[in-house]
Homo-oligomer: A and B are copies of this chain.
Amino acid sequence: MTRSAGPLKLKAQLFCGEEIAMGPGKAALLEAIIQHGSISAAGRALGMSYRRTWMLVDVMNRSWVEPLVETEVGGRRGGGARVTETGHAVLAAYQALMDEIGAAAEPRISALAELMRESPRPAHKG
């Protein structure tokens, strides 16, 4: 009954002015900060540079009514960080958004699956 059209990849980016206040990369970073308790450890776990990791945190912290990530006072590189109450709320809402649009997509994807091949025809004739 539920035939797959191959994976559907959905991406949602929330803009605050010109900045991406929340998106797949920032949500993954918040999850990793919760897991690792440290911004730099979270970045390493995601394979991101130290510079990029802090840039994403900085953009998040400037885009919402309160910072999403707090570092410990006197923290050094590798020191502790925590996701704030607002950060948890934004992350939960973003995850719910992704679940909701995924569910909303399902009927249409099933219909499209009827028209899609299992795999692409080869690019060159054999």
Contact = CB atoms under 8 A, between A and B. Distances in A.
Contact of A100 (B11, B61, B63, B105): B105
Could you tell me the dominant secondary structure of chain A's interface residues? mixed
B64 A93 contact: no
Copies of this chain held together in the complex: 2
A8 B13 contact: yes
Contact of A116 (B10, B21, B117): B21
A11 B101 CA distance: 11
Contacts of A10: 10-13, 101
A71 to B, nearest CB: 16
12 contacts: A6-B17, A10-B12, A12-B105, A16-B119, A21-B116, A59-B120, A63-B117, A64-B115, A94-B112, A100-B105, A101-B105, A103-B104
Interface of A: 5-17, 19, 21-22, 58-59, 61-65, 86, 89-90, 93-94, 96-97, 100-101, 103-105, 108-109, 111-112, 115-123
